[in-house]
Amino acid sequence: MNQAEFDAFLTDISECFISENFQLWADRIVLPFSVVTKTGPIVSYDLEGLEADFNRYLEACHTMKLDPVHRIPISIEHCEDGTVICTYRTELLSHGQRATEPFTSSALMSQLDGRWRMTAILNARGHSSWTGHSPHREGGQTHD
């Protein structure tokens, strides 16, 4: 992965929520997909689970009246097995003001069909911290 590919990836994973384009999100994901937060992993095993979590994130975007999401690249680390760990900072703004504190995440990436896709997001702050909707409490898919 090079910087231009990382930038394109960050654009896609930001734009998909503002434009409510689930397919753009799904095109950047490898299933099963894990979001690992302070409260534990949340795993989407199929497209239905992935879309349900996407829709919960959209609810957060609507509730917070988010402006376009800003993701700032920090680093690209190439691993010996061909995967890449991409670290970035996310800033969520509403009417030009911070809607929540910025946070740093790392995405574990694999190249499939000529495109970089995520298998996991690590150290992420999921939508449940802003919306109160927790897949752990509401029947979401988790990994035991």
pLDDT in tens, 34-88: 988 877 888 999 999 999 989 988 888 888 788 778 899 999 999 999 999 999 9
Joined together, the tokens standing for residue 72 give 């700032």
pLDDT at 139 over 80: no
Could you give the strand order of the β-sheet that contains 103-112, starting from the edge strand earlier in sequence? 40-44, 29-37, 115-122, 103-112, 84-91, 70-78
What is the C-alpha to C-alpha distance for residues 130 and 64, in angstroms, rounded to an integer? 9
Domain assignment of residue 77, given as a range: 3-125
| SS3 label, residue 60 | helix
Q: At 72, is the secondary structure helix, strand, or coil?
A: strand
Q: Is the pLDDT of residue 125 over 60?
A: no
- CATH number, domain of 15, equals 3.10.450.50
Q: Give domain status of residue 81, yes or no.
A: yes
140 part of a folded domain: no
Within 10 Å of residue 113's Cβ, how many Cβ atoms? 6
Q: For residue 23, what are the CA distances in angstroms to 35, 55, 103, 109, 127?
A: 18, 12, 25, 18, 19
What are 93-109's pLDDT values in tens digits? 888 888 878 889 999 99
Domain membership flag for residue 115: yes
| Residue 22: inside a domain | yes
The interaxial angle of helices 3-18 and 47-64, nearest 10 deg, is: 70
Which secondary-structure segment (H or E) carries 120? strand 115-122
User: Do the domain assignments include residue 62?
Assistant: yes
Q: Mean per-residue pLDDT for 118-135?
A: 62
Count: domains in the chain: 1
